[in-house]
Structure 1
Amino acid sequence: MPRGPAALFASCLATSILLAVAFPGDIGWWPLVFVALVPLFFVLRFCSVRAALLCGFTSGLLLYLMLLYWIFIVLARYGGLPWFVSTAGVFFLALYMSCYFAAFAVLTRYLFLSLPATLVLWLVPALWVGLDWCRGWLLSGFPWMDLGYALYEVPLLIQVADIGGHHLVSYCIVIVNLWFFFLFLGKGCRRPAVLVPGLAFLLAVLCYSGLRYSQVREYLQDAAVSRAVVGIVQGNIEQDQKWAEANLQGTVDRYLRLSEQLFDESAPELVVWPETALPFYPQKGRFMAPIHAFTAAYKTHILTGAPWYSVNGAAVSYCNGAVSIGPGRLLEQPYCKTHLVPFGEYVPLDGFWGLLGPLVESVGNFTPGRIGEPLRNGQLRSGILICFESVFPDLARLWVDSGANILFNLTNDAWYGKSSAPYQSLAMAVFRAVETRRSLVRSANTGISAFVDPSGEIRSRSALFVAWRESAGLVLLEGRSLWVRFGYGFAPLCLLVSMAFVFWTFLNENSFGQGAACRRPD
């Protein structure tokens, strides 16, 4: 096999392209995720530490530039930043994300050259999952598009998420990649002791997923299970028109008109509007009269996103909220978004930026809320995930652990334009339904809105940039999955075990290369 710089770059490029094409978007050909890492593995089996580091950085950088290009739209078109600043923002975020890819490449090379394939088959996937977990919380966290999310439209393959979350699905995907790599590599790696346990594990996972999928689908058909009719309204308000004073009344009128159309077909007990569907402070009362009249006339509640302020003496705090509006003039205390977007809803290390201050001075200064009691609307106990919060599995877990029997994702994806981001955002939300075994309702300003069953099946979804409304009868489950009960333990355990083996082999250098999965580089 060629080992020059051109071959190294070609392998890195192949891995990046295969992953980018496998993830949700215009193509979204998910089967590629099962072989996407194989080109990188072939490089790591013979390259130096320096080359492994470079390959990891290159693969990660190319991948995340292809995945995160939509951030340029957010910064340049809607954030008003110069094109060169927006480009730099995308590049440096992709560079940061590629650090985890680089760490994976270097440590995987070390495991290839230090341990037998029988151990590597289990430890390399654990290493991947552990680093993904770190990416999900370090520096506020940005767990965008972990491997498992590529399978969001294949519910039969993702049911193990109710045990170990989406990370367990990613773990299985890396095992498949390694299995093919060892199969192609030949030599000692084709031994039954290497391939058979991996195949047996994957078959067991597949059997569990098939069984659980069938069980959950049967349970959803059970007439004794509680149900509620919920309606979604997708207003399709352009981001550059949303906050204009002249458009506020028209925005309310559009949402009310679409909501009334829901009642021509069904009688939802809750109507869900997207994040900041009300682009004003509801407690001021302005524009609220027709909304109160609607809830009174139809005897329903509206769950909507809206900015909110609280006064505590001389101090005023603001939040990105979700508020329930009941019949008459009932305006309940909102849920305030817990996990804020850095440089979007708050400025990290405020006062640190010096000459760069003018670039961040227009950023919102919201106060984070906290997850407490679910919002109650009749039999609904609602857990709320506002926009970016749907990418953090632990937030959904905390809601369900607090008693939520349904999840709502209120979002405004107009920021992303016509890009792959809304598809990727939907993919991550689907996993929250499977992990927690809760129905999930996703209401998006410009799409993609959807109803998701606890099995991960997308029952109905909207198109992008169209006005849309629909109702659905959703099951309200009460049990807690293993993942909800035992928390986020799988991924940290993967990190702990994989790094323990890395340190163990480092401290026992005399065993380096003896019986290892791959030979040392010449």
Structure 2
Amino acid sequence: MTATTAPTDASEQTAPQPGPESRAERIRRRLIPAAAAVLAGVLLYLSFAPRELWWLAPFAFAVLGFVLHGRRPKSGFGLGLLMGLGYFLPLLSWTGVDVGPLPWLALAVAETLFLGLTGLGIAFVSRLPVWPVWAGGVWIAGEAARARFPFEGFPWGKVAFSQPDGLFLPLAALGGTPLLGFAVVLCGFGLADVGRRLKADPRARDRALVTSAALTLTPVLAGAAALPLVSNKAEHGTATVAVIQGNVPRMGLDFNAQRRAVLDHHVKETLRLAAEVKAGKAKQPDLVLWPENSSDIDPYANPDAYAVIDKAAKAIKAPVSVGAVVTAKDGKPRNRQILWDPKTGPGATYDKRHLQPFGEYMPYRDFFRVFSSDVDRAGIFQPGTKPAVFDMAGTGIGPVTCYEAAFDSVVRDQVQEGAQILSVPSNNATFERSQMTYQQLAIDRVRAVEHGRAVLVPVTSGVSAVIRPDGSIAQRTGMFTAESLVADVPRRSSLTPATRLGVWPEVILVLVGAAGIGWVIARRRAEAAG
């Protein structure tokens, strides 16, 4: 036994010892992909408004695709998380403007978990033939999930909303935000595959390189091919629309502590415009749009609020869509748009259907109160139940209240209900001078192209805007100023393919992602059985 046992020092001499270089290599192998994943998230964030850097989004996915290709699912999950942090932390920073960092960080982390699962799925399908197609479907599946869960979803930050300008935008008219987002992701992943193929053996790469290049260029060419779907043509003449931005007495969550002042600001700006119309300095509007929360005093229950709104409508001699907080018959508040006629007073209404969790209502209030007393500042609003289109001087106006613009189905419902023009009354005063208002304006621009409708954006404190059906901005205001916009806006009734197809483009793209995952599972089972 003694003769056959090697001495301890001999064993140590024959065992491989990790030197500084191998240790450094191990660190490099972990840190570089992690840093690249974070970089991908930051690049995607930078592609969003207020910057006009839409072209950064494909490069963000090129970096992500290069990092995730061939990884194990577990690594894909971790790298997806890192990308999500680089993306959502800066993108959603406006959510903590007046309530501190905790809600902002909680929301960013929750959304990041979806990106972790998406990264897992992308890594899982990354060894398939034409993997960018399957990976793009997985990405859209992840967006579809987070647009619906939890608390009815949070679609803010969908890739499509980074594209109010640029080559891919016309695809919104063909297949809505899912197809637009898929095109951006496919282009980026195709670019990643081109880079990967260029490093391969020249004898084996040429045919595959052609395929990868085709995957990169096809979304760009498809965007050009879809351009004829985008039109500013006035199919039924034009309507002269006035957008009123009355401003608020102060920024932040307590802006509405002076609720009467907010109402008076919008009445004052409407009266000022009426005086300009009377003096011949401004065109007589056919209809007038006020923002969300322009009257946080219930005009049904408060005669003084009723009187000043009615005064403004009579002075401007046009129907006014008034954003008001009202108490319904059940005793619960509603975020309501009221069609106010200068002769007959309040008439048709639209109640906001997709309410903002943790703002307009508080899910699991007792549970979340453990973490912050700010939960008691959230409202107890009740959602509306159906779409509604206002007949304003013969023009069909479809209200989509603020946060609702991020949800595909809500906007589509209003167009299918007969809206010739979309209105997105909003109140961004809570978020002060953050990038939130610009991100929302980008969403509104994408919706204009998606449905072929002009979009009017009256905001309490800015940025208010008139958006043409091609997504371009005809007029806009500054922030925290009292201004009016008067514009001739095309009335349109034709439906884009995206409006007609509804949810089907998203369903098909989700099935593409699911098919890729199913293919990998089936192939692995076959290999195990063989």
Fold agreement, TM-score > 0.5: yes
What is aligned with 2:192? Answer: 181
3-state SS of 1:477 partner: coil
For the structure 1 residues 512 and 13, does the alpha-carbon distance in structure 2 shift closer, same or farther, using more than 3 Å as the test?
farther
Counterpart of 1:227 in structure 2: which amino acid? Answer: T
In 2, Cα distance between equivalents of 1:319 and 1:50? 45
Matched, 1:430 2:445: yes
Counterpart of 2:327 in structure 1: which amino acid? Answer: Y
Counterpart of 1:23 in structure 2: which amino acid? Answer: F
> CA contact under 8 A between 1:447 and 1:464: conserved in structure 2?
yes
Residue pairs, 1:126-165, within 5 angstroms = 126-139=137-150, 140-154=152-166, 157-165=168-176
The one of 52, 62, 65 equivalent to 1:38 is 62
3-state SS of 2:222 partner: helix
In 2, Cα distance between equivalents of 1:434 and 1:261? 35
In 1, Cα distance between equivalents of 2:272 and 2:80? 49
1:46 deviates by 4.6
For the structure 1 residues 419 and 362, does the alpha-carbon distance in structure 2 shift closer, same or farther, using more than 3 Å as the test?
closer
The one of 67, 91, 98 equivalent to 1:67 is 91
What is aligned with 1:122? Answer: 133
What is aligned with 1:451? Answer: 466
1:159 deviates by 1.3
Matched, 1:408 2:423: yes
3-state SS of 1:460 partner: strand
What is aligned with 1:304? Answer: 322
For the structure 1 residues 53 and 297, does the alpha-carbon distance in structure 2 shift closer, same or farther, using more than 3 Å as the test?
closer
Counterpart of 1:397 in structure 2: which amino acid? Answer: R
Give the percent of matched residue pairs that are identical in Structure 1 and Structure 2.
23
Counterpart of 2:311 in structure 1: which amino acid? Answer: A
Could you tell which deviates more after superposition, 323-332 or 138-147?
Answer: 323-332
For the structure 1 residues 21 and 181, does the alpha-carbon distance in structure 2 shift closer, same or farther, using more than 3 Å as the test?
same
Matched, 1:96 2:113: no
In 1, Cα distance between equivalents of 2:308 and 2:272? 14
Residue pairs, 1:232-381, within 5 angstroms = 232-237=243-248, 238-239=250-251, 240-244=254-258, 247=261, 250-260=264-274, 263=277, 264-283=281-300, 284-311=302-329, 315-350=330-365, 352-353=367-368, 355=370, 358-381=373-396
In 2, Cα distance between equivalents of 1:246 and 1:373? 28
**Structure 1 unaligned regions, length at least 5:** 76-85, 514-522
What is aligned with 2:512? Answer: 497
1:510 deviates by 6.2
Q: TM-score, normalised by structure 1?
A: 0.88
Q: TM-score, normalised by structure 2?
A: 0.86
Matched, 1:209 2:258: no
In 1, Cα distance between equivalents of 2:168 and 2:396? 29
Greater relative contact order structure (CA < 8 Å, 6+ sep): 1
Counterpart of 1:211 in structure 2: which amino acid? Answer: P
> In the TM superposition, what whole-angstrom CA distance separates every residue of 1:346-390 from its partner, at most 9, and x where no partner exists?
122455557468542332111111223411112111211111011
> In the TM superposition, what whole-angstrom CA distance separates every residue of 1:68-104 from its partner, at most 9, and x where no partner exists?
11111142xxxxxxxxxx3222112111111221112
> CA contact under 8 A between 2:41 and 2:84: conserved in structure 1?
yes
> CA contact under 8 A between 2:448 and 2:469: conserved in structure 1?
yes
Could you tell which deviates more after superposition, 351-360 or 97-106?
Answer: 351-360
Tell me which structure has the larger Cα radius of gyration: 2
Q: Give the RMSD, CA atoms, in angstroms.
A: 2.4
In 2, Cα distance between equivalents of 1:200 and 1:361? 51
Counterpart of 2:341 in structure 1: which amino acid? Answer: G
> CA contact under 8 A between 1:338 and 1:368: conserved in structure 2?
yes
In 2, Cα distance between equivalents of 1:511 and 1:170? 34
Counterpart of 1:410 in structure 2: which amino acid? Answer: P
What is aligned with 1:17? Answer: 42
Counterpart of 1:9 in structure 2: which amino acid? Answer: A
In 1, Cα distance between equivalents of 2:346 and 2:432? 32
Counterpart of 1:106 in structure 2: which amino acid? Answer: L
1:248 deviates by 5.5
3-state SS of 1:323 partner: strand
In 2, Cα distance between equivalents of 1:391 and 1:14? 26
For the structure 1 residues 259 and 425, does the alpha-carbon distance in structure 2 shift closer, same or farther, using more than 3 Å as the test?
same
1:306 deviates by 0.6
3-state SS of 2:377 partner: coil
In 1, Cα distance between equivalents of 2:205 and 2:307? 71
What is aligned with 1:81? Answer: none
3-state SS of 2:49 partner: coil
> CA contact under 8 A between 1:183 and 1:190: conserved in structure 2?
no
